[in-house]
């Protein structure tokens, strides 16, 4: 069987696909991962055969005009108006990504002739290619607690976004709004209540955070509890370097506790590091180390609520503090707090005293560690990605018949 995995050029959207793609390879199937040029290096580092298709859009122009910075609802608006405006912009951006990617993906598909297409949920070129090629499509979710369907006009209903529909019109095919199957690595306890039911294949979230070596110092337990602080490249792109300045203040607040602070700087451009400011002696800047490796020795982690960071920490049983602003982070950490495995602080209210108190509570209240252990057990109870491969085989076989 030939399986074409595809995602747009963002590592947080590539990484959740990797364990499933490798499981398919281990089962004896041919696999390709297709994306646009700027993701080529990251895909090659996974060790999975890859192909570059289409072209990159000027994503920086979207970020530079603050298109994804949430602003509070105006008087008289519903509470969700602020994040709806952000997702409206995200939907337009992803339609532009698909327009730049679809021709190349379809051309490659016609040449390589995959038996099915597995795509990231916001890589709209994936279902377009599957429809043109006449093969099943599998939407591989990345584990977000509340899945907002950018291809749907109101994010949660059934009416397709016109920009999404126009992608199919270009190829003269009927739109494919729902995939043949969904693969979901979000553990059941973190799922947002009341979401529309889908044809879901549940898998375990297996952390893949890119390649990297375990540093020697990490093999020795710290003399004080270790607290990891990380803000993520996606958050910085959307919110600007002000996020680094904020997290510099957060680092100094956490460092006032009797802890060792590990602050991740491996993905931050060197010229931006100055925005962190002066760091206390009990703070260790950490270069590129896979978060799954780094989290193993941590008593708590502070982050912005990104899905990959949250689920990696959850898979390691680490209590978490989410300092959130964008919709993804807010929804993720609301569910994390609901199960007791973490705490949430609004980014606009993240002063030193509030952050210091929240981290102290994570470290001192055993209920958070116990809830984090329960969440880890929930994740480990789910089927491995390899268990989803027979479902993919069945989809391909049904078409072949």
Q: How many helices (H) and strands (E) does the chain have?
A: 15, 13
Is pLDDT larger for residue 274 or for residue 247?
Answer: 247
138 within 8 A of 180, measured Cβ to Cβ: yes
Least confident of 69-78, 100-109, 271-280, 326-335: 69-78
Q: pLDDT digit string (tens) for 132-147?
A: 999 999 999 999 999 8
Q: Which domains does the chain show, CATH number per domain?
A: 2-205+382-400 (3.40.50.2000), 216-380 (3.40.50.2000)
**From the CA atom positions of the chain, what is the Rg in Å?**
21
Give the span between the Cα atoms of 210 and 214, in whole angstroms.
12
Backbone angles phi, psi at 251, to 5 degrees: -60, -45
In this model, does residue 210 exceed pLDDT 70? yes
Q: What is the pLDDT of residue 70?
A: 63
Q: What is the largest CA-CA distance in the chain?
A: 66
Question: Six-digit token pair at 319?
Answer: 């209590």
Q: Does 235 have pLDDT greater than 80?
A: no
User: Closest Cα partner for 230 from 333, 138, 322?
Assistant: 322
Residue 261: pLDDT band by 50, 70, 90 thresholds?
very high
Residue 87: pLDDT above 90? no
Q: What is the structure's pLDDT at 270? A: 67
Question: SS3 sequence, 301-357?
Answer: EEECCCHHHHHHHHHCCCCEEEEECCHHHHHHHHHHHHCCCEEEEEHHHCCHHHHHH
Contact 325, 70 (CB under 8 A): yes
Average pLDDT over residues 299-327: 95
State yes or no: pLDDT of 192 exceeds 80: yes
Q: What is the tens place of the pLDDT at every residue in 45-82?
A: 999 999 999 999 877 776 666 655 666 656 666 666 66
- CA–CA distance, 255 with 41 (Å, rounded to integer): 35
pLDDT range class, residue 267, cuts 50, 70, 90: low
In this predicted model, which residue has the larger pLDDT, 178 or 155?
178
Closest CA to 92 of 81, 104, 84, 103: 84
Q: What is the mean pLDDT of the chain?
A: 91
- Residue 208: which pLDDT band, with cuts at 50, 70 and 90? very high
pLDDT over 90 at 247, yes or no: no
């Amino acid at each position: 069987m030939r399986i074409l995995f595809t995602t747009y050029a963002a590592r947080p959207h590539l990484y959740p696909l990797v364990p499933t793609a490798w499981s398919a390879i281990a089962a004896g199937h041919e696999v390709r991962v297709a994306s646009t040029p700027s993701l080529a290096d990251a895909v090659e580092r996974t060790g999975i055969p890859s192909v570059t298709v289409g072209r990159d859009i000027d994503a920086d122009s979207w970020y530079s005009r603050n298109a994804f910075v949430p602003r509070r609802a105006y008087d008289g608006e519903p509470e969700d108006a602020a994040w709806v405006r952000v997702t409206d912009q995200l939907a337009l951006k992803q339609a532009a990504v698909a327009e730049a990617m679809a021709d190349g993906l379809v051309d490659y598909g016609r040449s390589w002739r995959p038996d099915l297409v597995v795509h990231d949920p916001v890589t709209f070129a994936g279902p377009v290619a599957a429809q043109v090629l006449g093969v099943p499509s599998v939407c591989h979710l990345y584990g977000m607690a509340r899945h907002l369907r950018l291809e749907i006009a109101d994010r949660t209903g059934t009416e397709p976004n016109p920009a999404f529909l126009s992608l199919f019109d270009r190829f003269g095919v009927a739109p494919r709004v729902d995939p043949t199957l969904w693969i979901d690595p979000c553990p059941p306890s973190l799922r947002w209540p009341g979401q529309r039911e889908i044809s879901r294949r549940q898998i375990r979230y297996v952390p893949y955070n890119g390649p990297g070596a375990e540093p020697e110092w990490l093999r020795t337990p710290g003399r004080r509890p270790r607290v990891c602080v990380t803000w993520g490249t996606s958050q910085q792109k959307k919110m600007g370097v002000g996020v680094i300045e904020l997290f510099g203040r957060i680092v100094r607040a956490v460092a006032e506790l009797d802890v060792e602070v590990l602050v991740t700087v491996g993905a931050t451009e060197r010229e931006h590091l100055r925005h962190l400011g002066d760091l206390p002696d009990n703070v260790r800047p950490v270069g590129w180390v896979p978060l799954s490796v780094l989290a193993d020795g941590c008593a708590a982690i502070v982050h912005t609520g990104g899905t990959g960071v949250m689920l990696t920490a959850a898979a390691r049983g680490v209590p978490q503090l989410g300092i959130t602003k964008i919709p993804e982070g807010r929804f993720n950490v609301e569910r994390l707090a609901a199960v007791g495995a973490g705490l949430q602080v609004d980014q606009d209210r993240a002063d030193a005293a509030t952050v210091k108190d929240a981290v102290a509570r994570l470290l001192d209240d055993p209920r958070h560690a116990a809830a984090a252990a329960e969440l880890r057990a929930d994740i480990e109870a789910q089927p491995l990605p390899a268990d989803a491969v027979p479902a993919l085989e069945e989809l391909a076989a049904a078409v072949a018949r």
